Amino acid sequence: MKGHFYRRGCKCKKKKCSCGSKWAFTLDIGLNPITGKRKQKVKSGFNTKQEAEEYAASLIHEGKQGTYLEETDKTFSEFAIEWLPIYSDSKDVKPGTIRVRLHEIGKLLTFFAQLKLKDITKKMYQDTLNDLHTQGYSDSTREGINRTGRMIFRKALELELIKKDPTEFAYVKKDKKTIEQLEEEEIPKYLEKEELALLLKTANTNGLEHDYLVFLVLAYTGIRVGELVALKWRDVDFINNTISITKTYYNPNNNTLEYQLLPPKTRKSRRKIVVDDEVIYALKKHQEVQLEVIKRLGKDYYDKDFIFTKTERQFGYPIVIKTVQNRMRRLLTIAELNTCLTPHSLRHTHTSLLAEAGVSLEQIMDRLGHTDDQITKNVYLHVTQEMKKEASQKFSELMRSLR
């Protein structure tokens, strides 16, 4: 490698520079494989000639070792746009995950958008995570942003666009929480059996169309609301009392006509659930009513075999998840129950009641379509621990009665 050193932009005619220009160098780094012409590396901004010479020497050493890498001039914004389809194609990512990644990239763009990838340092990246903490973003949000940042920079490193990964050794600051806060987070809110009975009774007497069946199925199966909305009649085996979960509903904009049916959340989520006779009976009654509607509307009915369908305009299209959420809030208000609960709370309710009935954690996880879920474990342990306390109290009461 050949090159020369000079003060960039210096207009002093004397040997000694007095204008304060920085030192720079131009270094030959080989031949362009396409044109055959010399490739040169120009680097400036050094305070002394010695600094420039030392940096050039490190490049020469890399060249001799075969480890020299010409870093890209792409900005973080430019590469992030390139990275997203690479990430999507390589992992067969679901649309919902892509939306999350886009949101997390947006947070990073606030700090790095026009900065070159190669100029982003470890300190700059860590300062960004710390700044997000100061702004009040939750631990989980910042962990997600950091996860996306790591994937972007590691892909850039893999493609030999940068020499160092600024996310290496980065960490997400977490607030210390009280025991009360930890317990509240670890054990999600759910309905006690008496409260669930009241909710279903309210749905039966004061519910709108579909309400009773919707919340009966959610409560008695523990399925996700997206899995419920995606259910088709072919998924129900009326002879063996089972419901097969083979897909989930995706519609982030709640536009009835723009829904998508996607594979379940995980491979384990594909499952067959044995259900109670009460659920099967309610489904049969609903099917009879729906067949009459289809017969009456004919071609005006969007007949794609969905169980829970719209009955006003866009007949036959599956109801949107937002509808289920709004309906549940309405019923909780009427029943004077906790309005902070959601359809997903019925999944935790299902877990708690199965635990109370003595069903093993392994069987519950299998029914819910989990391989390993900490929240489900926490609900299960909470319920079973309460049962153990109750058993201990009964034993003590028995012994006291003998004295």
In the chain the first and final C-alpha atoms are separated, in Å, by 98
pLDDT at 25 over 80: yes
Helices (H) and strands (E) in the chain, counts: 14, 8
CB 267 within 8 A of CB 236: no
Domain range annotation of the chain:
3-65, 76-175, 193-389
Residue 336: pLDDT above 70?
yes
Q: In 10 A of CB 384, how many CB atoms? A: 15
Give me the amino acid identity at 9: G
Q: Is residue 33 pLDDT above 80, yes or no?
A: no
At residue 399, does pLDDT exceed 70? Answer: no
Q: Where are the beta strands (DSSP E) in 214-319?
A: 236-237, 242-245, 248-250, 260-262, 271-274
pLDDT above 70 covers a percentage of the chain that reads: 89
Burial class (CB in 10 A: 0-12, 13-18, 19+), 296: exposed
Which pLDDT score is estimated for 60? Answer: 77
Give the range among 282-296, 353-367, 378-392 with minimum mean pLDDT.
378-392
Q: Is the pLDDT of residue 322 over 70?
A: yes
Q: In this predicted structure, which of 32-36, 71-75, 134-138, 204-208 has the lowest mean pLDDT?
A: 32-36
Reading the block at residue 374, the tokens are: 């900490």
DSSP state of 318: B
Closest CA to 256 of 176, 322, 178, 166: 322
Q: Which residue has the higher pLDDT, 393 or 153?
A: 153
Whole-number average pLDDT of the chain: 88
Distance CA 228, CA 290 (A): 17
Under the banding of pLDDT at 50, 70 and 90, the label for residue 68 is low
**Strand, helix or coil at 334?**
helix
Position 374 scores a pLDDT of 78
pLDDT of the residue at 332:
97
Query: Three-state DSSP class for 3?
Result: strand
pLDDT of residue 96: 82
User: Which range has the worst mean pLDDT, 17-26, 79-88, 132-141, 366-375?
Assistant: 366-375
CB 40 within 8 A of CB 29: yes
Secondary structure (3-state) at 132: helix
40 confidence band (pLDDT: 50, 70, 90)? confident
- CA dihedral over 167, 170, 171, 172, signed as positive or negative: negative
What's the CATH class of domain 193-389?
A: mainly alpha
pLDDT digits (tens, 9 = 90+) for 133-162: 999 999 989 999 999 999 999 999 999 899
Looking at residue 58, its amino acid is S
Q: Residue 227 and residue 258: Cα distance in Å, rounded?
A: 17
Do 193-389 and 76-175 have the same topology in CATH? no
> Which tokens in the block code for residue 209?
């169309």
- For residue 5, give the H/E element and its range: strand 3-7
Query: Which residue shows structure tokens 């960004």?
Result: 128
Can you give the pLDDT at residue 1? 53
Mean pLDDT of 13-18: 76
Its pTM surpasses 0.75 = no
What's the average model confidence in pLDDT over 329-339? 97
Let me know: does 33 contact 39? Beta carbons within 8 Å: no
pLDDT of amino acid 11: 81
CA distance 30 to 66: 12
Burial 81-114 (b: 16+ CB within 10 A, else e): eebbeebeeeeeebeeeeeebeebbebbeebbee
**pLDDT > 90? residue 95:** no
Judged by average pLDDT, the poorest of 80-94, 223-237, 296-310, 362-376 is 362-376
- Over the stretch 167-201, which tens digit does the pLDDT of each residue have? 999 999 987 766 565 555 567 788 999 999 999 99
79: pLDDT strictly greater than 80: yes
Confidence of residue 10 (pLDDT cuts 50, 70, 90): confident
Alpha-carbon gap, residue 207 to 315, rounded angstroms: 20
| Sheet containing 38-46, strands listed edge to edge, beginning at the edge strand earlier in sequence | 3-7, 23-31, 38-46
Q: How far is CA 134 from CA 172, 173, 175, 203, 239, in A?
A: 12, 10, 11, 44, 58
pLDDT of residue 297: 95
Would you state the pLDDT for residue 316?
Answer: 96
Whether residue 101 has pLDDT greater than 70: yes
HSE-CB for 65 with a 13 A CA cutoff: 9
Specify the pLDDT at position 201.
97
Q: What is the CATH number of domain 76-175?
A: 1.10.150.130
Of 237, 228, 259, 260, nearest to 343 (Cα)?
228
Task: Name the pLDDT band for 346 (thresholds 50, 70, 90).
Answer: very high
Q: Residue 262: its pLDDT value, please?
A: 92
Confidence (pLDDT) at 271? 94
pLDDT band at 345 (very low <50, low <70, confident <90, very high): very high
Q: What is the pLDDT of residue 403?
A: 60
The pLDDT-based confidence of 347 (bands split at 50, 70, 90) is: very high
| pLDDT above 60: residue 317 | yes
Percentage of the chain with pLDDT > 90?
59
DSSP string spanning 16-70?
S--S-PPEEEEEEEEE-TTT-PEEEEEEEEESSHHHHHHHHHHHHHHHHHT----
| pLDDT at 392 exceeding the cut of 70 | no
